[in-house]
Structure formats: structure tokens, C-alpha cells
Amino acid sequence: MKADVLVVGSGLAGCTAAERLASRGLQVVVIEKRPHIGGNLYDGLDDNGVVIHRYGPHIFHTNEASVFHYLSRFTDWRPYEHRVLASVGGRLYPFPVNLDTLNGFFNLTLDEKEAEEFLRRKRTPLPEIRNSEDAVLARTGREICDAFFRGYTRKQWGMDLSELDAQVANRIPIRTNRDDRYFTDRFQFMPTSGFTRMIKSMLDHPRIEVIRNVDYLHERWKFKPRHIVFTGPIDAYYDFVFGRLPYRSTRFEFIHYPAVARHQAAAVINYPNDHAFTRVTEYKWLTAQQHAGTTIGLEYPGTEGEPCYPIPNSRNRLLYMKYAALASKERSVTFLGRLAEYRYYNMDQVVLRALAESDKIAALLR
């Protein structure tokens, strides 16, 4: 098959690269092993006509104006600010922890200044932040850490907070004001017609051909492009020569309630200490869809299924570095995205990386 560039994977990384390279005059083939495009962003109707995200709740948020403006070529947006509650001891609290969480959990009536002082006393003094446990203890102390973080993390990653890089828990701010938004980025939106439609529009180009249901690694010999953009797991590309990089997966269970307009008090409710699932998403909150019923999605983390998350810790980073060393020797392969770079990227980071790498590839193939 003839192409200037073969893009392996139709997630956001692959589609951004494909679109940019095709727009520079290159002939692009996108090959996707799943039956659908979009990777983990894939959304669509369930059997009952409710829009769901098949691989868990996705909210677009960024401070990068360039990323927002780039994606705005392919979708209209609906402003959306995400809010999450945590269920602890049978009560619901705003999460990330804020002033109302502190007052509710400790049964206090602090104002913002008093809450700062309160946290100063609660914090565990640590000379160095070595991992996610330290990252939480140093900001909140032990009670909040054990009630809101330890159990959730154990379920989500199958390991203790202390076994993960600080960056994992540091994704979550600790607030002493009453801001109850999950993200504080400048741009927070949902694509009006969904992520899959946005992705479809990115791939809708006369110089892009999309092939689905084909695993590139099973049919490498069929393709002789000038350049490859690989967005699958990097260890699989190299036939696991140094051993497997661990990726965390999630099993999603969807439940539909035919005559319930609203099921829960927020888009997402986290269950750090109860149940085998981590969180429950009610999709109508995210999509603003009008429907007589509603659908919720429960997330059961595990090791089986599509890889969803690289697992950030020093052991895995060392293993990844071995693969990265092989990758750095490749002149005609670019590794891009969450799985290929083994990084806990959000969508906007993936787009930013893909825009930068596409410039380099276009210059190389000129």
C-alpha cells in the first residue's frame, strides 16, 4: 500500500498528525485495530439512545489557546465546567477538596483564611516529596489522605499511593476557597456533536484514507510508507524485547434507567472507599442531552482490556527509557501519544505534541 505517512492508531494523537500532514500535501493512511475511530475519545449512542463515552468520561480542558483554536476548526463547542463529588462515610463532599469539604468532613465552620491555617497544622512536614503519598500528606495530612485518596488510588492503580510518582496525586489540587470545579483551565468545553464527530471531521480529507479492524503489528509487511507515526504501546512495537510495560485498563459497566431523568447529584461521583468501581458518571451531565431516561457508567480498573493509562513510577520509567532509546535511533518512525510515549497525557497535551511532531515530519519529508 502506497502512502507518504502511515499513522498507526486513530486516537487524538494519530488524527491530529494525520490531519496536519495531509494538509501539507502528504498522502496519509490511518490504520486502526478497533472497529471505530477516535481511540479512547470514542462516544456515541447506547442501545437506549443516550450519548455515552465508551471509554470513560472525557472533558476537554486546556490553557493552551493554540490547541483550542486548532480543534475549533473541527467542532463547535458547548461551555461545560466539570464538577465531581466524593462519597465518603455515606456523605457527598465536593472533590477536589475545598473549603466546604474541609468544613463538612471535620465538622467545622472555617472561613478561607482559617482553613489555610487549619491545613498548615494538619500537613505532614516532609523534607522531600518522593511519591504520591508524600504529595497528598504534605498538602492535607493523614485524615484527608486516607479518606479521599488512599482507597481510590489502590483501586485505580492496584498499588499504594507511595508506589506512584507524585505527579499522579498532584493532578488534584487542594483548595481552601469554595471553587468546586474539577478543572480551572481557561478553556473548558464539550464538543457540541461529540468527540467522534470531531475526530471524523479531522479525518475528512481527500488525502487521508482510514482502514479499521487491522492491527498494524500483524501486517507490518503490507505497508511501505516513507514515515510511520506510531501511537500504540511502544513495548508492543518492539515485540516486548525488554519485557512488558504495565498499562492500567478499565472495564466499563453501563446501566440505563428508562424513566429516570436525573440519577445522581453530579456528573461524576467518586467512591474512594466503597465498591470495586472507582467512580460513576452520569453522561447527560456532560452532554446536556434531553432524554426521558439516563445512563450511568461504572469504572472497574484492572489489567485486562484496552490499555488506558501508563503507570507512572520509577520502575516503569526505567523500562520505558530502554524502549525510548531504541525509538530515538529510528529515522522514519515517530512515537506519539499516551501509549507510545508512556506519559499520562491529557487530550490537550497530546494535541500539542502531535502539532509539534507533525511540523518536524513535514520538514523531513519535504
Q: How far apart are CA 9 and CA 29, in angstroms?
A: 10
Site for ligand UDP in 180-219 (CB under 6 A): none
Closer Cβ to ligand UDP, 187 or 216, answer by number: 187
Closer Cβ to ligand UDP, 225 or 246, answer by number: 246
Interface with ligand FAD, residue 310, by CB under 6 A: no
Q: How far apart are CA 25 and CA 325, in angstroms?
A: 31
Interface with ligand UDP, residue 172, by CB under 6 A: yes
**Cell numbers given for 139:** 498538602
- Which one of ligand UDP, ligand FAD, none is in contact with 86 (Cβ closer than 5 to 8 A by kind)? ligand UDP
Interface with ligand FAD, residue 191, by CB under 6 A: no
Q: Which residues pair with 93 in a beta bridge?
A: 86
What is the torsional sign of CA 187, 193, 199, 200?
Answer: negative
E strands within 117-267?
A: 187-191, 208-211, 227-230, 247-257
With CB under 6 A as the contact rule, the residue among 67, 168, 234, 327 that binds ligand UDP is: 168
Interface with ligand UDP, residue 272, by CB under 6 A: yes
Site for ligand FAD in 27-56 (CB under 6 A): 31-34, 39-41, 55-56
**Cell numbers given for 102:** 474541609
Specify the stretch interacting with ligand UDP by CB under 6 A; choose among 163-171, 185-193, 232-240, 350-358. 163-171
Residue 185 neighbours by CB distance under 10 Å? 17
Contact 321, 329 (CB under 8 A): no
**Cell numbers given for 310:** 501508563
**Nearest C-alpha neighbor of 204 from the set 8, 9, 15:** 15
Interface residues toward ligand FAD, by CB under 6 A: 8-14, 31-34, 39-41, 55-59, 215-217, 231-232, 250, 308-309, 337-339, 345-348, 350
Residues of the shown chain interacting with ligand UDP in the complex, contacts defined by CB under 6 A? 86, 95, 148-149, 152-153, 156, 168-169, 171-172, 270, 272
